[in-house]
Amino acid sequence: MILCSHVGKLVVGAALLLHFGHAKAQTPTSTPQLIVLQPAAVFDGEALHPGWAVLVEGERIRAVGPANQLPTPAGARTVALPGLTLLPGLIEGHSHMLLHPYNETTWNDQVLLESQALRVARATAHAARTLQAGFTTARDLGTEGADYADVGLKQAIEQGLIPGPRLLIATRAIVATGCYGPKLSVDVEVPQGAQEVSGPDEIVRAVREQIGKGADIVKVYADYRLSATSPSVPTFSQDELNLLVVTARSLGKPVVAHASTPEGMRRATLAGVETIEHGDDGTAEVFKLMRQRGVALCPTVAAGDAISQYRGWRKGQTPEPERIAHKRQSMQAARKAGVALAIGGDVGVFAHGDNVRELELLVREHGFTPLEVLRGATSGNAKLFHLPDRGRVAPTLLADLVAVAGDPTQDVQALRQVQWVMKGGTIYRQAQQQ
């Protein structure tokens, strides 16, 4: 009797499983939402097209072209964006979601005194501000002492728990032993802002560990200052950098390098990194090498500008610091050499949501046109960062779209007039006109 009862339960259970499994299979899938966007003009990542419209289906762009020729499927919802320019979601090339401006709290104190819970809570707000500012993708290049907190932040955004940009994360970043901070008394060991390594075995282990934990990018500090008052010096040998890049590449990940000295930049370029971050003291020779090797420069001019002001420079009132003048010279050399430019401001040094500051400074103080920086922050960054599914307004690409007041191809400040934001077909900011 016991056996018969057990068999009977199995039969009933199997029948229920078949019934509900069949019912689930017969449940109709939801039809992707169709939205027709009708702005005054569309910037497609390369050029401005007045009178164009965009059809979005689900999370992707289905069609784009002149509004009077664009098909409007039955059931499509129309979103009017009168007087606005629609453009690809902007791509931030260098940010630190787990940092906040140094004039609020110094970098040392953020690393040493702020709990990881507090820093993650701040980062959640930073991610939302970034998205609201029209940046739908961001490279986050190091947690600065917050270990692997960016992995969870990225997951929370991807799972829809919090709003934010699509993140490309570097987790802890890699530094040579003794060559980073914070530094206190020689008698006191304190947590560092990045993962320290020495020699081949530790380099390989750190690269594999960070990628295994979720890093999309490996970031290495090719040079750094050994104390707060000393100049930057190269911190890894050529062989060490070569090994680091080869290890990351074998796991399918790119390497980017913090480097500001000519020798640090040279070694990183020869090793095969994809971008040099900062490049403050770059020379004509090293920029020529970068051009030959296909290495891009992410100059982060906004970070240097902000730090100089934190240190007392009253812009427009007091003489320009040597650091700012020197940066202008290096930027001129980079442009003359034809180095590809990644657009990224080192946001976190200054406020998240103020990302456009980098583009404004490149136009106002470094001779770029609004069209150049707009292309750079959309299709240009997408190409450099291997993101073929975004950065342009074209069929099949992600519906990461932003609408601004004015014409950003003529006036970079129009990018501050964000009126509407969509990421993956979901609207995160509504236009005032609606």
DSSP one-letter string for 169-180: E-TT-EEETTSS
What pLDDT does residue 185 have? 86
Percent of residues, the chain, with pLDDT higher than 90:
88
End-to-end CA distance of the chain: 70
**Spatial CA neighbour of 98 closest among 138, 153, 136:** 153
Q: Per-residue pLDDT for 21 more than 60?
A: no
Q: Per-residue pLDDT for 107 more than 50?
A: yes
Hey, how many other C-beta atoms are within 10 angstroms of the C-beta on 429?
18
What lies within 8 Å, CB to CB, of 44 at 6+ separation is 52, 64, 88, 392, 393, 394
Q: Fold for 90-355, please state it.
A: TIM Barrel (3.20.20)
Q: Which residue has the tokens 């390369």?
A: 46
Instruction: State whether the Cα torsion 376-378-381-383 is positive or negative.
Output: negative
Domain ranges of the chain: 34-89+394-429, 90-355
Q: Which residues of 47-66 are buried (b: 16+ CB within 10 A; e: fewer)?
A: ebbeebbbbbbbebbbbbbe
Q: Per-residue pLDDT for 13 more than 60?
A: no
CA distance to 120, 155, 417, per residue, from 424 (Å): 24, 16, 21
* Token couple for 75: 């059931």
Please determine whether the domains at 34-89+394-429 and 90-355 fall in the same fold group of CATH: no
Band of pLDDT at residue 71, cut at 50, 70 and 90? confident
- Given phi > 0 = left and psi -120 to 50 = alpha, else beta, which region is 72? beta
* Arithmetic mean of pLDDT, 138-159: 98
Band of pLDDT at residue 431, cut at 50, 70 and 90? confident
What pLDDT does residue 30 have? 61
Band of pLDDT at residue 1, cut at 50, 70 and 90? very low
C-alpha to C-alpha distance for 50 and 40, rounded to whole angstroms: 6
Q: Per-residue pLDDT for 155 more than 80?
A: yes
Q: Per-residue pLDDT for 235 more than 60?
A: yes
Q: Per-residue pLDDT for 209 more than 50?
A: yes
Asked whether 355 and 92 are in contact (CB, 8 A), the reply is yes
**Spatial CA neighbour of 231 closest among 280, 272, 198:** 280
Q: What is the mean pLDDT of the chain?
A: 93
* Residue pLDDT, tens place only, 406-430: 999 999 999 999 999 999 999 999 9
- In degrees, to the nearest 5, what angle opens at C-alpha 136 toward C-alphas 132 and 139? 115
- Superfamily of chain region 34-89+394-429: Urease, subunit C, domain 1 (2.30.40.10)
Q: Per-residue pLDDT for 24 more than 90?
A: no
C-alpha to C-alpha distance for 319 and 315, rounded to whole angstroms: 8
Q: What CA dihedral angle connects 5, 9, 14 and 16, to 10 degrees?
A: 140
Asked whether 274 and 219 are in contact (CB, 8 A), the reply is no
**Spatial CA neighbour of 342 closest among 286, 388, 380, 303:** 380
C-alpha to C-alpha distance for 127 and 129, rounded to whole angstroms: 5
Strand order across the 135-140 sheet: 90-95, 135-140, 166-169
C-alpha to C-alpha distance for 67 and 50, rounded to whole angstroms: 9
DSSP letters for 339-352: --B-----BTSS-T
What pLDDT does residue 32 have? 83
User: Of the ranges 26-30, 180-184, 250-254, which one carries the lowest mean pLDDT score?
Assistant: 26-30
* Residue pLDDT, tens place only, 360-393: 999 999 999 999 999 999 999 999 999 999 999 9
Hey, how many other C-beta atoms are within 10 angstroms of the C-beta on 74?
5
Rg (CA), the chain: 25
* Residue pLDDT, tens place only, 192-201: 999 999 999 9
What pLDDT does residue 229 have? 83
Length of the chain: 434
Q: Per-residue pLDDT for 259 more than 80?
A: yes
* Residue pLDDT, tens place only, 311-362: 999 998 999 999 999 999 999 999 999 999 999 999 999 999 999 999 999 9
What pLDDT does residue 10 have? 36
What pLDDT does residue 400 have? 99
Asked whether 248 and 207 are in contact (CB, 8 A), the reply is yes
Q: Per-residue pLDDT for 299 more than 90?
A: yes
Instruction: Compute CA 95 distance to the chain's CA centroid, rounded to the nearest angstrom.
Output: 6
What pLDDT does residue 331 have? 98
Q: Per-residue pLDDT for 213 more than 70?
A: yes
